[in-house]
């Protein structure tokens, strides 16, 4: 009986519950026998039917982190724990991500306390499926391959989520422990970061071998071969990045066998592995950047931008709609070849938080000036390179039809005019016009001009502190027909977890850091399947410029790509703008090892204490320090989230993340 119990309860969650005592007792001391028999019968029934197996695997999916809600309601700190934005109200259980910025996290914190346990619950169930799927007699060979591939992908995703947030974790044995095992052999310490990454990549390689290239519409959210390979490439990029590749700040953090949890010697070959992994996704020839054809009303391109057809220029596309339509629900996800792995946005939070109170939202999504000023001028110059006239607070005085139904209003300051298309697709600003075409019951709310003066139309509602603190907010996930005042009529949206732009920019980043040539031997019996990469300047230009041209910007040159340091700067800025508010920034800053420099800096904004009629005073740049939410206390310990105290209490071999003891 003991062996049967262990055979289906094989996770750190079980270990923590089952081995709370130093000595072993009979199974009756730990489990109710009737409950055990019921659970065992339930598990057995899963592998008697393909339908029940499918239901069981769908149940595993429920343990995945809520990537569709990276902001309010997030199950990880990524959405709010960077320098991208902050909420106007704190503390609030729905704004848990900000606790890391405020230095309010402890190993006893309730925020994200369930993440560790949920991931290991998912891993346990994956292990059960992979060990018993052969028992399901009515599966076709194709179904068996698909379900096996899905399960490998899920297990890898659970482990990758743990690795990104907690650092090195413990990889559980795929085979169950015997009950006569000693406590010492059952309790596990963390594996090294590299061992974890290699295990995840091995799982993803197996997933890629089983999964199909595409899915029918009914299964569009299930992973594909491309999903597995793209997640593998992301893992390799992290493994090559400075924080995990020769980081001597963790020289005294070691396992009991003396091995360092974080590698102490820099290995340049890791960049080659990452580049080869990204190239393998590209070579599938399945994905491409989302583009929308140019219309007569589309604003002409600046002379600095190539007017050749995409992907060699932006002459035949509408850069604003090509980018915006991916996020606001206009482009059907199943028809968007840029999406590699994506999830449905489960609620209205991505719309409600930035939407002004008069339009039924909260108005509490604040984008610092440091972020807004990373968006270039339309001709490709940096914002800081603008002339005094271009950076003036003076109103332009006339409306501009920027693209389709997007209008830049006459009262908009010149400093917010003539910016790159992603600026308008992503940000809301003072005097920005919110179309609100569904607000037909109140015509005054259609084409609503939002201002962030103290007495402006975007001022606070019922909660006094719930107003915009910086002068910029997010419009990326908002469709012109979204309606919050009557029944929350919101367009169905998806959140891209991995999209092709990430593959292109990741490939460029990995190539930029490479030294020499790297060959990934895919098949020892077939050298023609090998993937070979190098620091190919022409290839870097080609891939980087696809993202640039889709954004309606000038491309980089071979001279730019030949300069390694120059490219690092370009990649960092491009990732910030391209993936704004998609949960990339938090992890990028950490893997680059610059999180303290950027996240700990005080946010800047315009002077929203100014009133209507005080235009020049409003457009004064200020460092925000009026309230606690403006302050940052991000230290080195915040690079890894603390393991919950109750988990450490159940497994004495686990050590806490550095700085959290």
Query: How far is 317 from 548, CA to CA, in rounded Å?
Result: 12
| pLDDT for position 9 | 36
Does the structure show a pLDDT above 80 at 184?
Answer: no
What band does 90 get if pLDDT is binned at 50, 70 and 90? confident
pLDDT of residue 405: 78
Q: Which residue, among 500, 496, 501, 503, has the nearest Cα to 233 in the 3D structure? A: 503
Residues 6+ apart with CB under 8 A from 552: 301, 305, 314, 319, 320, 378, 420, 421
Segment 356-376 mean pLDDT: 94
Arithmetic mean of pLDDT over the chain: 89
Q: CB neighbours of 62 closer than 8 A, spacing ≥ 6? A: none
Return the minimum-mean-pLDDT range out of 39-48, 200-209, 395-404.
Answer: 39-48
* Range list of β-strands (E), 301-413: 339-344, 365-366, 400-403, 406-408
Whose tokens are 């988990």? That residue is: 647
Structure tokens at 341: 């792995």
Phi, psi of 136 (to 5 degrees): -80, 105
The more confidently predicted of residues 215 and 93 is 215
| pLDDT number for residue 39 | 52
- According to DSSP, the residues that pair with 531 across neighbouring strands are 520
pLDDT at 17 over 80: no
Identify the pLDDT of residue 32: 46
41: CB partners within 8 A, 6+ apart: none
Is residue 69 over pLDDT 90?
A: no
- pLDDT band for position 78 (50/70/90)? confident
The pLDDT of 586-609, averaged and rounded, is: 95
Percent of the chain with pLDDT strictly greater than 90: 72
Q: What confidence category does residue 465 fall into, taking pLDDT thresholds of 50, 70 and 90?
A: confident
Span between the terminal Cα atoms of the chain, in Å: 39
Per-residue tokens: 658: 């550095």
Pairing of strands 472-474, 427-429: antiparallel
Whether 389 shows a pLDDT value over 70: the answer reads: yes
Q: Would you say 395 and 411 are in contact if contact means Cβ atoms under 8 Å apart?
A: yes
Quick: pLDDT tens for 120-162: 999 999 999 999 999 999 999 999 999 999 999 999 999 999 9
pLDDT for res 16: 37
Q: Is the dihedral of CA 35, 36, 38, 43 positive or negative?
A: positive
Q: Which residues neighbour 443 within 8 Å (Cβ) at sequence distance 6 or greater?
A: none
In this structure, of 52-66, 500-514, 548-562, the range with the lowest mean pLDDT score is 52-66
pLDDT band per the 50, 70, 90 thresholds, residue 218: confident
pLDDT given for residue 182 in this prediction: 63
pLDDT score recorded for residue 206: 97
Give the percent of the chain with pLDDT over 70.
Answer: 90
Q: What separation in angstroms does the CA of 475 have from each of 291, 365, 567? A: 19, 10, 29
φ, ψ (nearest 5 deg) of residue 490: -115, 135
Higher pLDDT, 304 or 525: 304
Closest by CA position to 453, among listed 356, 373, 351, 354: 356
pLDDT of residue 23: 33
Nearest C-alpha neighbor of 81 from the set 595, 658, 473: 595
State the pLDDT at residue 459: 76
What's the whole-model pTM score? Answer: 0.92
| pLDDT at 66 exceeding the cut of 90 | no
Strands (E), 24-113: 86-87
Res 576 pLDDT > 50? yes
- In angstroms, the CA 162 to CA 156 distance is 10
Please determine, for residue 15, whether its predicted confidence score (pLDDT) is greater than 50: no
From the list 169, 236, 115, the residue with the least C-alpha distance to 591 is 236
pLDDT digits (tens, 9 = 90+) for 503-546: 999 999 999 999 999 999 877 666 778 899 999 999 999 999 99
Reading the block at residue 370, the tokens are: 């440091």
Q: Cis before residue 236, ω within 30 degrees of 0? A: no
Q: What is the mean pLDDT of residues 266-288?
A: 97
Range 459-485 average pLDDT = 87
Question: Higher model confidence: residue 376 or residue 6?
Answer: 376
């Amino acid at each position: 009986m003991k062996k049967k119990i262990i055979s289906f309860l094989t996770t750190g969650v079980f270990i923590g519950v089952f081995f709370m005592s130093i000595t072993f007792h009979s199974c009756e001391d730990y489990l109710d026998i009737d409950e055990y028999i019921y659970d065992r019968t339930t598990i057995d029934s899963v592998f008697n039917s393909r339908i029940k197996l499918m239901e069981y695997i769908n149940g595993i999916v429920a343990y995945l982190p809520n990537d569709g809600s990276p902001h309010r309601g997030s199950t990880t700190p990524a959405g709010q724990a960077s320098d991208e934005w902050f909420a106007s109200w704190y503390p609030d259980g729905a704004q848990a991500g900000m606790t890391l910025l405020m230095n309010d996290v402890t190993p006893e914190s309730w925020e994200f306390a369930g993440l560790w346990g949920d991931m290991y619950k998912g891993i346990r169930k994956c292990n059960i499926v992979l060990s018993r799927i052969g028992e399901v007699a009515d599966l076709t060979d194709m179904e068996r391959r698909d379900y096996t591939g899905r399960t490998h992908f899920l297990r890898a995703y659970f482990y990758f989520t743990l690795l990104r947030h907690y650092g090195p974790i413990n990889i559980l044995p795929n085979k169950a422990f015997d009950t006569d095992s000693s406590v010492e052999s059952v309790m596990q310490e963390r594996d090294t970061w590299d061992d974890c990454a290699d295990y995840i990549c091995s799982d993803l390689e197996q997933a890629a071998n089983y999964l199909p290239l595409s899915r029918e519409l009914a299964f569009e959210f299930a992973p594909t071969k491309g999903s597995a390979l793209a997640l593998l490439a992301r893992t390799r990029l992290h493994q090559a990045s400075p924080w995990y590749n020769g980081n001597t700040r963790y020289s005294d953090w070691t396992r009991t066998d003396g091995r360092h949890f974080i590698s102490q010697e820099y290995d340049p070959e890791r960049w080659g592995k990452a580049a080869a992994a990204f190239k393998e996704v590209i070579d599938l020839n399945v994905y491409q950047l989302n583009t929308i054809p140019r219309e007569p009303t589309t604003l002409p391109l600046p002379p600095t931008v190539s007017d050749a057809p995409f992907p060699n220029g932006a002459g035949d596309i509408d850069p604003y709609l090509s980018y915006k339509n991916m996020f606001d629900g206009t482009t059907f996800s199943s028809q968007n070849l840029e999406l590699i792995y994506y999830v449905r946005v489960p609620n209205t939070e991505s719309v409600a938080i930035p939407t002004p109170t008069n339009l039924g939202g909260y108005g509490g999504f604040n984008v610092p000036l440091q972020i807004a000023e990373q968006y270039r001028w339309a001709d490709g110059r940096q914002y800081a390179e603008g002339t005094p006239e271009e950076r003036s607070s003076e109103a332009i005085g006339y409306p501009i039809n920027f693209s389709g139904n997007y209008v830049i209003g006459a009262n908009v300051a010149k400093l917010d005019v003539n910016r790159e298309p992603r600026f308008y697709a992503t940000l809301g600003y003072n005097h920005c016009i919110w179309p609100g075409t569904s607000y037909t019951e109140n015509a005054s709310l259609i084409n609503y001009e939002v201002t962030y003066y103290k007495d402006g139309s975007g001022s606070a509602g019922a909660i006094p502190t719930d107003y915009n603190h910086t002068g910029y907010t997010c419009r990326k996930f908002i469709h012109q027909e979204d309606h919050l005042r009557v029944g929350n009529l919101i367009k169905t949206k998806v959140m891209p977890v991995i999209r092709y732009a990430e593959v292109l920019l990741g490939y460029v980043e990995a190539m930029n850091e490479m030294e020499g040539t790297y060959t990934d031997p895919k098949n020892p019996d077939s050298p023609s399947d090998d993937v070979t990469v190098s620091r190919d300047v022409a290839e870097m230009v080609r891939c980087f410029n696809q993202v640039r041209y889709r954004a309606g910007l000038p491309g980089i040159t071979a001279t730019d790509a030949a300069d390694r340091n120059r490219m690092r700067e370009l990649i960092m800025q491009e990732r910030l703008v391209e993936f704004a508010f998609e949960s990339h920034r938090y992890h990028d800053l950490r893997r680059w090892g610059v999180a303290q420099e950027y996240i700990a800096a005080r946010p800047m904004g315009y002077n929203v204490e100014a009133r209507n009629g005080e235009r020049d005073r409003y457009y004064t740049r200020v460092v925000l320090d009026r309230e606690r939410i403006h302050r940052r206390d991000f230290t080195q310990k915040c690079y890894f989230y603390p393991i919950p105290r109750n988990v450490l209490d159940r497994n004495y071999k686990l050590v806490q993340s550095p700085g959290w003891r």
